[in-house]
Amino acid sequence: MADVLVAAPRSSFARYWAAAAISSFGTAVTAVAMPVLVIQLLDASPLEVGVVNAAQFAPYALLGLIAGAYTDRWRRKPLLVWASIGRALSLGAIPVLWEAGALQVWMLVIALVLFGACSVFGFAATQSLLPRLVPRARLVVANARIDQTDSAAQTLGPALGGGLVGLLGAPVAILADAISYLVDAALNTSIEVDERRTDARPGNLRAEIAEGLRWMYRHHTLGPLAASTHVWFLANGAAMTVLSLLALRSLGFSGFTFGLLLAVFGFASLVGASMAPRMGARIGSGRVIILTRGAYPIAWLLVLAAPSTGTGDAMLFVGLSLQGLAMGMENANDMGFWQALTPDGLLGRVNATRRSVNRTMGAGGALLAGLIVGVAGDRPTLAGVILVFTVAALIAALSPLRGTRGGD
């Protein structure tokens, strides 16, 4: 029997949205502080940079499928709250260890692995809770609102992060992210949502996991989309590792300039997220996804072509702007597409499975990039990354996505 979905009060979505916004600001600050901490303060090697970038995503490989099954068994709001508390504690340990003079790269990796383990459950819960807060017909709009806020955070947060890093140091800036997760937990605790279920769970964990896998990968549209997204995360994990090394070492960016680069990326994401609902309604969510997947190789070609002097900095900013615009436009359509087509009783497993494989691929890309940069250098590595982005775009373009409008 299908779940009975009872509409939640509008104030519940507002609190959910506010919680997501606050934690997004904290995450944007850490996006600046963490590379500065690892590359400049801890003087990590390229391989160590890759390991750190992969650490928070590694738990998805071990816990993702299990987290999805339990997200479909348990109430999602309490799971989201406790996951946020766990992330706050994991990040909060980093500045404490730094102030004690004990922080080393391997300790940072452990803290990020714990952070990632909490994130596995947290993201499975948050993506599965949203369809209980808004009608399914409004999911693209709701996701776009969240993306707009997230993009605003990525615009202002890196500038704030760069300022905090310059004024108080990278470890203290990371503390701001830890605090944001505590506020996130408090806001989500106040959400009013009916999570009563009428479907009987079979009780066999392996069978539940297998059911989610079969449904996702055998779906005529979502299966190819999942494959394209997995390949995209492999490329993106590698690209972001190369970017931090290229900007902070090869081009000599300061923490503030690197923060400004990420702020421009965030502003472009905000523009893209603002366009997402209109683009999805006009040409269909599937076609928006195909269009944006084709933009990523072009964005990173601009980064690859950036010279070490002169116009190099400007080309990096243009490339990241195109990347941000594409991501902002794509994400709401992609999430709304998945949430609209997936039955509520499978949302936890499908969301967690998809995110698990995506983040595992991202971790693999980060590690692989760290290894290759150490041997071949950042630009040859980035050339290979562009080829992988192109493969992801081709998988999407040749799939049934091109004939769908998002609710088909």
Residue 387 pLDDT > 90, yes or no? yes
In 3D, which of 107, 341, 308 has the Cα closest to residue 223?
Answer: 341
Higher pLDDT, 335 or 201: 335
Residue 160 reports pLDDT greater than 80: no
Higher pLDDT among residues 307 and 78, named by residue: 78
Tell me the pLDDT band of 197, cut-offs 50, 70 and 90.
Answer: low
Residue 178's pLDDT is: 92
**Looking at residue 381, what is its pLDDT?**
93
Side-chain-side CA neighbours of 5 within 13 Å: the count stands at 14
Q: Tokens for 399, please give them.
A: 């799939």
- Tell me: pLDDT of 325 over 90: yes
Rounded Cα distance between 39 and 252, Å, is 12
Between CA 149 and CA 154 the distance in angstroms is 9
| Tens digits of residue pLDDT in 266-304 | 789 888 888 888 888 888 888 999 999 999 999 999 988
pLDDT value of residue 97 = 93
Q: Residue 229 belongs to what H/E stretch?
A: helix 222-245
pLDDT of residue 53: 79
Instruction: Tell me if 328 sits within 8 A of 271, measured CB to CB.
Output: yes
Rounded to the nearest 5 degrees, what angle is found at the Cα of 210, between the Cα atoms of 206 and 213?
145
* Distance (Å, whole) CA 152 – CA 350: 28
Instruction: Identify which of 255, 259, 268, 384 has the alpha carbon closest to the alpha carbon of residue 318.
Output: 268
Q: Rounded to whole angstroms, how far apart are CA atoms 292 and 328?
A: 9
What's the mean pLDDT when you consider all of the chain?
82
For the CA atoms of the chain, what is the radius of gyration? Answer: 20
pLDDT value for 200: 47
Q: Structural domains in the chain?
A: 10-188+205-403 (1.20.1250.20)
